[in-house]
Amino acid sequence: MNEFSNAFRTALQLLVEMDPGLSEIVLLSLRVSLSAVCLAAVFALPLGALVALTQFPGKRGVVILMNAMMSLPPVVVGLVIYLLLSHTGPLGVTGLLFTPTAMIIAQCVLVFPIIAALTRQTVFDLHEEYDEYLRSVGAGTSQKIATLLWDGRTRLLTAILAGFGRAIAEVGAVIIVGGNILHSTRVMTTTIALETSKGDLGMALGLGIILVLIAVAVNTAVVTIGGGASRRTV
Amino acid sequence: MKTNKPQKKLFVGLGLLAVVAALAAYAFLSSPKEKSITLASTTSTENSGLLGYLLPIFKGESGIGVRVVAVGTGQAMRMAMKGDADVILVHHRPSEEEFVNEGYGVERIAVMHNDFVIVGPASDPAGIEGITDVAAALGRIRSSRAIFVSRGDDSGTHKRELSLWAALGDQPGEDANWYRESGSGQGATLNVASEMDAYCLSDRASWVTFGNKRNLELLVEGDPLLLNPYSVILINPQKYPHIKAAEGQQFIDWLVSERGQKLIAAYQVEGQQLFFPDALEVARD
Amino acid sequence: MQTQHHMLPLVVNRARYVVGGKAIIEDVSFTIHDAGLTVLLGPNGAGKSTLLKLCHGLLLPSSGSIRWGEADVAEVQQQQAMVFQRPVLLRRSAAENVDHVLKVRGASSAQRARVIEESLEWAGLTEIADIPARKLSGGEQQSLTIARAWALNPEVLLLDEPTANLDPGATRRVEDLIRSFAGAGKKVIMATHNIAQAQRLADEVLFLNHGRLLEHAPADRFMSGPSDPLAARFIAGELVE
């Protein structure tokens, strides 16, 4: 229990003092995870919609794979991307290892299946509802996709937030491809891991509290903006 | 009737997207364009705070940023063997010599040393407090089957620990359930020992700066076998042309210069000097 | 009222629709010459919905043919509009729902604004234009789908039991709109199991049961005395299986 009160005090102290080291870490965490989510969404939303709306051989296997990849272990993703970006690896020439870009790539890979699979499910359900109507008015495939994506916006927003939650909370991928380098690739989760390993449990827990607060803040902001149009979002 | 409402939402959505795109671009472009090298080092040099103390000074004087990836000695070397680091700072002589002999490193250069210590519960069930013969201490731990937490991660500390057991006769066997391997860095391993009230081998610097000691105390020190020398090695640019050899060498030269060595000696935590410079003595020979 | 209509006559020739070995529509043939309101009448499960969807091109017949004027169903689909039993509305405001179909058809934003205003006014829905469509009452929702169909300016309006789930007040409102459609010279084909509704609205009746067309007659002749015995029992109010 002492650790916890210690932690709350530390968290409060960090927030009040606006420690520049802390803000650097928080900003980097947000940059990396938000970028990863947006990048993933740009591709995962239309892909999920397309898989929902089209028939092709092996579709069932693809859907199973999409759903299964939501459980990709972050360390495994980190390891694979590390091997790709290593200087002896196929993409070594890019020099991206141990940079924030590598971290964005790794988190994008982690988050992509979540958004794609949930989009597919959402669009599929809406398709059942709207198919006859859309065919009746003669909507083309891209029009159908746009209609279904916009109409499912609440559920899709939840999917995107789920992706963000995964990204901001993971440590396995970013620590391997980023290297937890001070002032460069150190984010909230890797800092918590480091402080824990130094035995600084109060500091680690304090940072953890701040991480949760940030996640709550982002979720609130998004739901408020997204829920502006329709009064009820839950 | 307002049909510009969807347009308003569209603008808000686009605005958000633009902000995020800007952040992403910033993140992408902020990859260091300034001069920098990648140093693979050990968790002990990182956690002790030595690097956090030295490197900003080096950057101020040379303009070169040193990006530290802190992993165990074994992992640091394997990283370097793949060309993912420019310089390594490690502490296991046999591995270092092999590394240079196989052509991955240019030369191993002594930088500093500290020592290892055995820490354990204040209750000391194996009765090793004050013993200066590390072999005898480990022998007592084994015969009393007191819990011992090993790094188990192929780090310099781990390799040293294994060689100490080997000198006793043999490694703790498969059935030795008093011997626990954490597979982690020094801090994490100390955490495990702290929670389990167990014995553990640690470098002194990590021990002094460790924040969760609880019932653990320093029990054994001083045996010459516990000496822990660190060397710095530049990765061979002939093996990997992309290595930043010039800046890497500049860093090494600074470390072993009088300036660097004095700074290392001056680094203290809780009134204790944690690292002892070695380069100037070698130069003097 | 009879107007020249390039989509008429509607000629259905030996249409069959089979699903899972079962014939939902079995050997149905008829011709509709005139504009005005045609009612597909019959008990639930008779195949009325299916026949409507075949005429609209949402389903393809297993065999047989359906032609509007000289054209294939697919060619004229966009000149028709369909209203479903449960109103299909997007999660947006009423006005935006009308806007959506116009956008799909490629209308310019100025055109869309004008047509939305006219359609909602025609249907008496101007006040609720900005309300989320799903929050409207059942009657308002169905009126909206008809307004949406009106906005498309189709030649033909098909309705599948549009008032089956509505209370009498809402039903009256929707029937007024349907009459308005027919009165504007559009061809209206409506499926219903409600005899009274058929009596109120129909110019012409097709009576279906178990996927077969049992009788095809002008409304007044059918209502005063259908030739088919099953049809007679149906309009007498009996449960016809």
Return the pLDDT at C3.
46
Which positions in chain A touch C100 (Cβ < 8 Å)? 147
Residue C81, min C-alpha distance to chain A (Å):
7
Tens digit of each residue's pLDDT (9 = 90 or more) over C9-49: 999 999 999 999 999 999 999 999 988 999 999 999 899 99
Tens digit of each residue's pLDDT (9 = 90 or more) over A19-49: 778 888 999 999 999 999 999 999 999 899 9
C158 → chain A, closest CA residue: A136
Q: Poorest-confidence range of A225-229, B187-191, C118-122?
A: A225-229
Does C95 sit within 8 Å of B3, measured CB to CB? yes
Residue A147, min C-alpha distance to chain C (Å):
8
Q: Is C124 exposed, middle or buried (0-12, 13-18, 19+ CB in 10 A)?
A: middle
Return the pLDDT at B285.
36
Does position B42 have pLDDT exceeding 60, yes or no?
yes
Residues A47/A122, Cβ–Cβ less than 8 Å: no
Give Cα A58 to chain centroid, integer Å: 28
Does A135 sit within 8 Å of C58, measured CB to CB? yes
Q: Which residues does residue B94 pair with via DSSP β-bridges, in sequence order? A: none
Residues of chain B above pLDDT 70, percent: 87
Tens digit of each residue's pLDDT (9 = 90 or more) over A153-198: 888 998 999 899 999 999 999 999 999 998 889 999 999 998 888 8
Q: Is B175 exposed, middle or buried (0-12, 13-18, 19+ CB in 10 A)?
A: exposed
Closest to C56 (Cα-Cα) out of C75, C43, C35, C30: C75
Instruction: Please name the helix (run of DSSP H) or strand (run of DSSP E) that holds residue B272, with its range, or none.
Output: strand B272-273
Amino acid, single-letter form, for residue A49: A
SS (H, E, C) C22-58: EEEEEEEEEEECCCEEEEEECCCCCCHHHHHHHHHCC
Q: What is the mean pLDDT of residues B117-126?
A: 95
Return the pLDDT at A227.
60
**Is A197 within 8 Å of chain B by CB?**
yes
Instruction: Give the one of B24, B26, B47 whose C-beta lies nearest to A38's C-beta.
Output: B24
Return the pLDDT at A233.
43
Mutate to test the interface with B, among C90, C96, C128 (most CBs of B within 10 A): C96
**Is C130 within 8 Å of chain B by CB?**
yes
Q: What is the mean pLDDT of residues B237-251?
A: 94
Tens digit of each residue's pLDDT (9 = 90 or more) over C87-130: 999 999 999 999 999 999 998 989 999 999 999 999 999 999 99
Return the pLDDT at B15.
64
Amino acid, single-letter form, for residue A65: L
Which positions in chain C touch B3 (Cβ < 8 Å)? 95-96, 99, 112-113, 116
Computed over every residue of chain C, the mean pLDDT equals 93
Does position B7 have pLDDT exceeding 70, yes or no?
no
Does C130 sit within 8 Å of B2, measured CB to CB? yes
Does position C190 have pLDDT exceeding 50, yes or no?
yes
Vertex B246 angle, CA B245 and B252, to 5°: 85
Q: Which residues contact B130 (CB under 8 A, 6 or more apart)?
A: B219, B220
Return the pLDDT at B29.
56
CB atoms within 10 A of CB A60: 8
Residues of chain C above pLDDT 90, percent: 89
If interface means Cβ-Cβ distance under 8 Å, which residues of chain A face chain C? 129-130, 132-133, 135-139, 143, 147, 151, 153-154, 229-231
CA distance A126 to A50: 13
Return the pLDDT at C5.
67
Q: What is the mean pLDDT of residues B184-213?
A: 91
Does position A112 have pLDDT exceeding 60, yes or no?
yes
Which positions in chain C touch B1 (Cβ < 8 Å)? 95, 116-117, 120, 126, 129-130
Complete DSSP assignment for chain C: -----TT--EEEEEEEEEETTEEEEEEEEEEE-S-EEEEEE--TTSSHHHHHHHHHTSS--SEEEEEETTEEHHHHGGGEEEE-SS----SSBHHHHHHHHHHHTT--HHHHHHHHHHHHHHTT-GGGTTSBGGGS-HHHHHHHHHHHHHHT--SEEEEESTTTT--HHHHHHHHHHHHHHHHTT-EEEEEES-HHHHHHH-SEEEEEETTEEEEEEEHHHHHH--SSHHHHHHHTT----
The pLDDT confidence band at residue A229, using thresholds 50, 70 and 90, is very low
Residue A73's φ and ψ, nearest 5 degrees, are -70, 130
Residues of chain A above pLDDT 70, percent: 95
Terminal CA-CA length for chain B:
92
Return the pLDDT at A226.
63
Does position C141 have pLDDT exceeding 60, yes or no?
yes
Does C81 sit within 8 Å of A137, measured CB to CB? yes
The pLDDT confidence band at residue B97, using thresholds 50, 70 and 90, is very high
Q: Two tokens at C231?
A: 């049809």
Which positions in chain B touch C132 (Cβ < 8 Å)? none
Computed over every residue of chain B, the mean pLDDT equals 87
Residues B39/B67, Cβ–Cβ less than 8 Å: yes
Return the pLDDT at B2.
40
Does position B150 have pLDDT exceeding 70, yes or no?
yes
Q: Which residues does residue C207 pair with via DSSP β-bridges, in sequence order? A: C41, C215
Does position C2 have pLDDT exceeding 60, yes or no?
no
Return the pLDDT at A230.
46
Return the pLDDT at B281.
56
Give Cα C76 to chain centroid, integer Å: 15
CB atoms within 10 A of CB B246: 11
Tokens 């960090």 belong to residue? A14
Amino acid, single-letter form, for residue A189: T
CA distance C129 to C135: 12
